[in-house]
Chain A
Amino acid sequence: MLGIPDPAVWIAYLLSLGGAILCVIYGIINWNKDNGGNEGGKKR
C-alpha cells in the first residue's frame, strides 16, 4: 500500500490522515455546540 510493504507502517500512515479527517468532521458537526457544560466564563 502506497509503496510501503509493512502493514504496521502503512496502517499508521493512513490512521494519521484518518485521525486528522476525524478531527475536521467533529469540528464541523459540533461547530456551534457547547456540549462541554455551558457555564463558560462563569467566575466566582
Chain B
Amino acid sequence: MTYIIISLALYVLIMAFISYTGYKKTKSTSDYLLAGKEIHPIVMALSYGATFISTSAIVGFGGAAGQYGMGLLWLTVFNIIAGVFIAFVLFGKKTREIGHRLGTNTMPEFFARRFNSKLMQGYSGILIFLFMPVYASSVLKGIVDYIAKYTGVSFNVVLIVLGVLAGVFVIMGGLKGIMYADAFQGTLMFAGMAFLIIYTYSILGGVTHAHEALALLPRQPGVAEQTEGLVKAGFVGWTDMPRSGSPLWWNVITTLVAGVGIGVLAQPQLSVKFMTVKSGRELNRAVLSGGIFILFMTGVAFTVGALSNVAFYNETGRIAIKAAGANDSIIPAYIKAFLPEWFGGIFLVVLMAAAISTLNALTHTMGTALGRDFLKQSLRLRSDTIRLTRIAMLIGLVISVVLTWLSGKLDVSMAIIAIGTSMFYGLCAATFLPTYIAALYIKKFPRGAAHVSMIAGSAVSLFWLFFVQEKTSGSLRICRLLFGIDSVVKDTPLHTLAMVDAIVIALPLSIIAALIAWAVIGSAKESQQAPVTVSAD
C-alpha cells in the first residue's frame, strides 16, 4: 500500500504541475484546440500513442488475450501497420497540410471546410459527442477495475475520485497541457510495459519455453474442464487461432481485430494530433517512436495476458479467467499475484497514465464536438468557444462516468471494455473513413456523396449495433424491449450475422453508398471545393 500511495502522490503532483503550466501557456483558441501547432515530434508521437493506448488496450484487450489467446496479436500488427505507419504517412501528412491550409481545429471542422458543409460539422460533432462516452466509459472501467481490485476500495468510490481528477486535468490545460502530460505519461507507460514483458518471460523460463508451456497448457490435467465453454465457442488453445467460422473466431477477428485495427484510421481524437505539428518532417520522425511505443503497449499486453494462464496454472491449478474471476480482472490479478509488490504500485500509476491520457483527449474531443462544432459553428450559438467547450467537456465526462457505473452491472464474463472500445472505433470507421480518404485524396469528390456516405455508414452501423450484433444489442436491450429477442436475426437462417461485427457490414456499405452517390451526382464543381470562411475561434 505504501508503494501505491507514494507513486500516486508523485504522479498527481507532476500532472498538476504540467496541467498548470499548460493552462498558463494557453493564450489563444489555437493554443487551446491545437496546442499552437508547434509540437515536438517525440511529444506528438508519445501523445498520439498514449491517447491511442488506454487501460482499455492493456486491461481490456490484455484480459481478452488472457481468455482467447495470442491470436489477438493480429491486432498489434494492425495497430502498428495501420495505426502508426499508414495513419502517420498516408493520413497524417495530408491531414496536417490540408488542415493548416483551411485553418481547421477539429475533425468535424476539417470535413466542414474541405467540403464547404456546415451540416457535416454539426452531424459529425453530435455523433462524436453522443457515442464517444461509450469508449470513454470503457477506458474508465479499465482503471477503476484495476484500482478497486488492487486496493480493495469500492468500485464506485474509485470511479468518482478518478472522474473528478480527469475533469480537473483536462478542463484546466487545453490541448497544450494535454500533449505535454501525455508525453510524460507515455514515457511512464513505456517503462512499465517493458519491465512487465521482461519479468514475465524471465519467471516463465524465457521466450520459447514460456510459449511452449502455454501451447501445452490445454492438455494439462484439469484444464479441459475449465475451458469446456470456450472450446464449444471455438477455442483451440492460447497459442492457436480460434476454430474458423466459430463464434469466438468471429468475435476475435471482426470485433477485436478489425474493429479497432481499422477503426483507428478515423478517430477524431487521434487525427487532431496530426494538425499539432509544424511540418511533414515531424510526422516522419514520429513514425519511429510511434511504432516501437505501440509494440510495447499492445504487443506486451496481449502476450502477457495469454502467458498469465501458465503462471496462474502453475501456482493455483486454474486458468487465468477462472483464477481472476472476470475477463477484465486478468491483468490486475496477474500483476498482484506474480509481480513484485513495488511494481504493483508503479503499474497502477502506469495504468492511471494510460487512462488519464486517453480520457483527457476524449473529453477534449467531446467538448470541442459539442461546444465548438455543434453549438457554436453549426447552430451559431453566441458564446466564447473555450467556455462552451469546457461546459461541453464536463457534460461528456459526467455521461461517461454514469455509463461506467452502469457497465459495472453487466455480465462479468463478457469482455466489456474491449467490446465498448470496438463499438466506437467501428462506428467511426463506417461513418468517417470513406469521406476522410476522399477529403485527403480525391479533389473532385462531391459534397453530396460525402453526406450520403456519412449518413449511410452511421445509420447501418447503429442499426447493426442495436439490433443485429448479439453481443452489443443484448447489452443495449433496445432490441429486446421492442421485439422480445436479443438480435433480429436470431433463430432465422441468417443467424450467423448475429456474430458479425458492425464494421464488416457498415464500412463496405458506406464506401458503396459514397461511390453510387458520386456516380449519380457527378464530380464536384470548383465552387464546392472552396473553403468556407475561416473564423479565429
A contact set with B: CB distance below 8 Å: 2-6, 8-9, 12-13, 15-17, 19-24, 26-28, 30-44
Contacts of A26 in B (CB 8 A): 85, 89, 284, 287-288
Q: Is B92 positioned at the interface, with any CB of A under 8 Å from its CB?
A: yes
List residues of chain A with CB within 8 A of the CB of B277: 40
User: What chain B residues lie within 8 Å of A21 (beta carbons)?
Assistant: 291
B70 on interface, CB distance cutoff 8 Å: yes
Given contacts A36-B96, A44-B534, contact A16 B77 (CB under 8 A): yes
Q: Determine the chain A residues whose CB is within 8 A of the CB of B71 once the complex forms.
A: 8-9, 12
A12 pairs with B76, CB closer than 8 A: yes
* Interchain CB contact under 8 A, B285 and A31: yes
Contacting pair A40 B85 (CB below 8 A): no
The stretch among B208-216, B353-361, B397-405, B490-498 that forms the contact with chain A is B208-216
B265 to chain A, nearest CB (A): 15
Interchain CA distance A29-B289 in the complex, whole Å: 14
| Inter-chain CB contacts under 8 Å: number | 155
**With the chains together, A44 CA to B101 CA distance in Å?**
7
Partner of A36, one of B70, B73, B93, B214: B93
With known contacts A2-B208, A23-B287, A41–B299 Cβ distance under 8 A: no
Q: B292 within 8 Å of A by Cβ? A: yes
B369 CB to closest chain A CB, in angstroms?
Answer: 23
Give me 22 A-to-B residue pairs in the complex whose CB atoms sit less than 8 angstroms apart, sorted by A's number: A3-B207, A3-B210, A3-B211, A4-B239, A8-B240, A9-B69, A12-B71, A12-B74, A13-B70, A16-B77, A20-B294, A21-B291, A23-B85, A30-B281, A30-B287, A36-B281, A37-B93, A37-B96, A39-B100, A39-B101, A41-B37, A43-B37
Partner of A31, one of B89, B100, B207, B284: B284
| Residues of chain A within 8 A of B280, CB atoms compared | 33-38, 40
Cα A29 to Cα B351 with chains together (Å): 33
> Which chain B residues lie closer than 8 Å to A9 at the CB level?
69-71, 73, 239-241
B448 at the interface (CB under 8 A from A): no
Which residues of the partner chain A approach B209 to less than 8 Å between Cβ atoms?
Answer: 3
**Chain B residues near A42 (CB-CB < 8 A):** 100-101
Task: Give Cα distance in the complex from A16 to B76, angstroms.
Answer: 6
> How far apart sit A25 and B94, CA to CA, in the bound complex (Å)?
21
CB distance from B417 to the nearest CB of A (A): 21
The answer to whether B279 and A41 touch across the interface, beta carbons within 8 angstroms, is yes
What's the minimum C-beta distance from A38 to chain B, rounded to whole angstroms? 7
Query: Does any Cβ of A come within 8 Å of B81's Cβ?
Result: yes
Chain B residues 198 to 218 lying within 8 A of chain A, measured CB to CB, are 207-212, 214-215
**B94 cross-chain contacts in A, Cβ below 8 A:** 36-37
Complex interface bits, B247-279 against A, C-beta within 8 A gives 1, otherwise 0: 000000000000000000000000000000111
Which of the four size classes fits the interface of chain B?
35 or more
Query: B306 — nearest CB in chain A belongs to which residue?
Result: A9
B289 touching A27, Cβ below 8 Å: yes
Q: Report A1 CB to chain B, min CB distance, Å.
A: 9
Cross-interface CB contact of B77 among A15, A30, A32, A33, cutoff 8 Å = A15
Contact status B80-A23, CB under 8 Å: yes
B287:A27 contact, CB within 8 angstroms: yes
> Inside 8 A of B210's CB, which chain A residues have their CB?
3
A28 to B291, CA, bound (A): 12
- Pairwise interchain contact B70-A35, C-beta atoms closer than 8 A: no
With CB as the reference atom, state the residue of chain B lying closest to A23.
B291
Query: CB-CB < 8 A to A36: which residues of B?
Result: 92-94, 96-97, 279-281, 283-284
Contact B239 A6 (CB under 8 A): yes
State whether B291 touches A2 (Cβ < 8 A): no
User: Which A residues touch B37, using CB under 8 A?
Assistant: 41, 43
Partner of A16, one of B208, B299, B534: B299
Confirm or deny: B341 has a beta carbon within 8 angstroms of a beta carbon on chain A: no
Please give, as numbers and ranges, the residues of chain B lying within 8 Å of A28 by CB-CB distance: 288
Chain A residues with CB under 8 Å of B283's CB are 36
* Most chain B beta-carbon neighbours within 10 Å: one of A3, A19, A23, A35: A23
The listed residue with most A CB atoms (<10 A of its CB), out of B102, B207, B284, B294, is B284
Q: B103: CB under 8 A from chain A?
A: yes
Let me know if B524 is at the binding interface, CB within 8 A.
Answer: no
Q: A30-B284, A35-B284 are in contact. Are A6 and B294 (CB under 8 A)?
A: no
Q: Whose C-beta in chain A lies nearest to the C-beta of B206?
A: A3
Please state if A5 and B74 are interface contacts (CB–CB under 8 Å).
Answer: no
Most buried by A among B71, B84, B288, B294: B288
- Write out the residue numbers on chain A whose beta carbons fall within 8 Å of the beta carbon of B281: 30-34, 36, 40
8 A Cβ contacts from B299-352 to A: 299, 303
Which residues of chain A come closer than 8 Å to B294, judged between CB atoms? 20
Report the 5 A-B pairs with minimum CB-CB distance, sorted nearest first.
Answer: A23-B291, A36-B280, A27-B288, A36-B93, A40-B279
Q: Most chain-A Cβ atoms within 10 A of its Cβ — which of B89, B102, B291?
A: B291
Chain A residues with Cβ below 8 Å from B127 are none
- Provide the residues of chain B in CB contact with A12, threshold 8 Å: 70-71, 73-74, 76-77
Q: A19-B295, A26-B284 are in contact. Are A5 and B215 (CB under 8 A)?
A: yes
